[in-house]
A and B are shown apart, each in its own frame.
Chain A
Amino acid sequence: MALLEIRNLSVEFATHSGKFRAVDGVDVTVDEGELLAIVGESGSGKSVSMLALMGLLPWTATVTADKMEFDGHDLRKISARARRRIIGKDITMIFQEPMSSLNPAFTIGWQIKETLRKHTDLNRSQRQDRAVELMRQVGIPAPEKRLQAYPHQLSGGMSQRAMIAMALANKPKLLIADEPTTALDVTIQAQILELLTDLQRDAGMALVLITHDMGVVAETVQRVQVQYAGQRVELQEVDGLFENPHHPYTAALLAALPERATEKRLPTIPGVVPGQFDRPHGCLFSPRCRFADARCIAERPRPASADLGYALCHYPLIDGLPTGKETAA
């Protein structure tokens, strides 16, 4: 059974120059205990869709969805107060910048125990014990001492571990990790990822990993959702995705991985993600796609079938070649 089910989620921001659609009809499904990755460039709406789920977007954002259900709760109809009983308990989130995500004015221990005080009935000494246990669980040495430390006394990796401890405090069913390793040293990145996947396996919680790093995806996750310009362009099991990407964007992303590059010069995807003013009418990827034709520029594609990875493309790729062009032409 799906733990989280989001259908046709859209997020629009009111800006000085009109509305900007950051998320455009995205579906997300997460099963219990599953590890899903959402991949895409900056501006592809990965973080925004998850922040919308958490209710953490600024007031300038308008969120619409056909369905947004978590663990039997309809998050669209729920009151703010009822949502706050789920957020921080059953759904928790960690962020890209661990150093600035912890409040500089309070100790690590205070911040971890605050979430326990909010969501559990533990008394003072039980909260202390639980905090120590959590610190140990995320691999922080000398937990009793570190609980009394202020965030500025911890390194980036330690801060992210503390954030993870805070997120795990109430044994969540779903943890959303929003580019948890982007701001960290390369040597620390692997450690944090391993910690997250270990915890996910041991605790049996679902983990949504938002990343732009295909390398991370290959090593860790089960299913991959590729997003581009606020849309989901492909969804596949990780093996299938790497072997046989069905969307030209996924294929281009994979081709740009140094490990997979065959030519001397690393291939890149020309251009940038469309912004507020240069959004194409047809397929959003068409200006950068090497297979695009007149139909791609004129007509919005629909998702393909499940065995084609729901690719949002007129001509889904099979073994690197577009299909269906003959019939269209």
Chain B
Amino acid sequence: MLSFLTRRLLTFVPTFIGVTLIAFAFIRLLPGDPILLMAGERGVSAERYEQLRAQFGFDKPMWQQYLDYVWGIFHGDLGTSFVTKKPVLTEFMSLFPATVELGLCAIILATIIGIPAGVIAAVNRGKFFDQALMSTALVGYSMPIFWWALLLIIVFSGWLGWTPVSGRMGLMYFINGPTGFMLIDSLLSGQSGAFRSAVTHLILPTIALATIPLAVIARQTRSAMLEVLGDDYVRTARAKGLSPARVNGVHALRNALIPVVTVIGLSVGTLLAGAILTETIFSWPGIGKWMVDSIFRRDYQVVQGGLLLIALVVMVVNLIVDLLYGLINPKIRKG
């Protein structure tokens, strides 16, 4: 187990180098000059322009800029936002809980609906429920999320008025809690109605963000279950006189879960990408919206640092998924 962990952690090194290179190169390939952009319509004198270029290190050769950047990373310095003048890491930390809260809610929703739906579809293969579910999943999977999110807003916020249109919290509440998770902080704040407000703000973005993972999880669960249901040990379980619920839900599902966990892990990456759209549409003050805003502002340092941090999060999640395999499948444990 320990050697498995060490070997797994070693694979972080090349991935990390790749991610820093991409983050570094990508933002420099984009058209537009950050200094001119910062100066705005007032413009900037040639002398001042050179001074700023030197200040940000843009006058150095590319490889040196890259090394400076990596050097900084190891000292916890991911750069400073051109716009807000705050360190990138500080900004990230203050916005990250919002994204985690939304992402967690979405993945939980997708899992608790997706897995049972997939199991029921597999057990009733070819029947009405199966076909209805799989068609729905296909629609969910192929639907453009921005359009789906707008549709949700129009129906539930616009016509029905059940949920707020955007943001994380009603305007009459001021929550600046210890955890950064609105659901927890609103409860801790003791302000009446604050929790309710947090929940209602969460509902639509959660549904929008959960849609694609939900479809993927349901389909994966179904196909994994179908594969497993014909296995010998499922027949053994039935030969013990166990109920269908136990045979399918314990004996078969436990073995079908391995590919499903993989998909859930991969969904976390998709989720962070999906968060960019969802957060923008719902004005959700998280990482996704921050990245989009920063790209529009040519805030090099933020985009560079943000990409890296997001990549790190995905890498850590994948590691956790790999460790989970061992829990589900004893064969992998010795690895």
Contacts and interface: CB of A to CB of B under 8 A. Distances in A.
Interface of A: 54-56, 83-89, 92-93, 95, 97, 100-106, 114-115, 118-119, 150, 152, 163, 166
Contacts of A83: 241
Contacts of B270: none
Contacts of B240: 87-88, 92, 114-115, 118, 166
B33 interface: no
Contacts of A88: 239-242
Nearest to B238: A56
Nearest to A106: B254
B329 A87 contact: no
A153 to B, nearest CB: 8
B157 interface: no
Contact of B233 (A86, A87, A100): A100
Contacts of A119: 241
B330 A105 contact: yes
Nearest to B234: A103
A150 B251 CA distance: 14
Contacts of B85: none
A104 B330 contact: yes
A92 B240 CA distance: 7
A102 B238 CA distance: 12
Q: Chain B interface residue count: which class? A: 10 to 19
Contacts of B232: 95, 97, 100-101
A181 B258 CA distance: 31
B60 interface: no
Given A100-B232, A152-B331, A87 B255 contact: no
B330 A93 contact: no
24 contacts: A55-B238, A56-B239, A84-B243, A85-B241, A87-B241, A88-B241, A92-B240, A95-B232, A100-B232, A101-B235, A102-B233, A103-B251, A103-B254, A104-B255, A104-B331, A105-B255, A115-B240, A118-B240, A118-B241, A118-B242, A150-B330, A152-B330, A163-B236, A166-B240
A90 to B, nearest CB: 10
Contact of A93 (B233, B239, B243, B254): B239
Give the interface centre of A83, A102, A105, A114 by most chain B CB atoms within 10 Å.
Answer: A105
Give the interface centre of B233, B243, B331 by most chain A CB atoms within 10 Å.
Answer: B233
Contacts of B231: 100
Give the interface centre of B243, B255, B330, B331 by most chain A CB atoms within 10 Å.
Answer: B330
Contact of B242 (A84, A100, A101, A104): A84
Nearest to B253: A105
Contacts of A100: 231-233
A104 B329 contact: yes
Nearest to B233: A103
B115 to A, nearest CB: 16
A102 B236 contact: yes
Contacts of B330: 104-105, 150, 152
